[in-house]
Amino acid sequence: MRTCSSLLTAILLALALLNPSQAAEKAAAPAAASSVKVELVDINSATETQLKALPGIGDAYAAKIIAGRPYAKKDQLKAKNIIPAATYDKIQAQIIARQK
């Protein structure tokens, strides 16, 4: 059993040494992802297409969001039963309710 484990360790080490750039890319990926700024969708002015790009928002919910405007706060989508709480939880970090 120990020989098998040692062999596996040696193979993994050899693979890492053969392609060090791939290992470096994987290590740098989380840092790059965290520096990406997410553009918030304004529920008071977004088009139907922009709303439908949000997870869980289709034709019906996009239409309900537009019909319920304006919103003072984004959590009114949930409070006014425009969308279900589970859907709101998925999108809350991606939306904002800007005031004009």
Torsion angle in degrees (nearest 10) through CA of 29, 92, 65, 85: 120
Per-residue pLDDT band at 11 (split at 50, 70, 90)? confident
Strands 95-96 and 41-42: what pairing? parallel
The beta strands (E) that lie in 1-100 are given as 41-42, 95-96
Regarding pTM above 0.75, the answer is: no
pLDDT for 100? 81
Q: What percent of the chain has pLDDT over 70?
A: 68
Q: Which amino acid is at 42?
A: D
Please state the domain extents for the chain: 2-33, 41-96
pLDDT digits (tens, 9 = 90+) for 18-40: 665 554 555 555 555 555 677 99
Give dist(CA 62, CA 87) in Å, integer: 12
Let me know if domain 41-96 sits in CATH 1.10.150.320: yes
Q: Encoding tokens for residue 96?
A: 């904002």
| Per-residue model confidence (pLDDT) at position 13 | 63
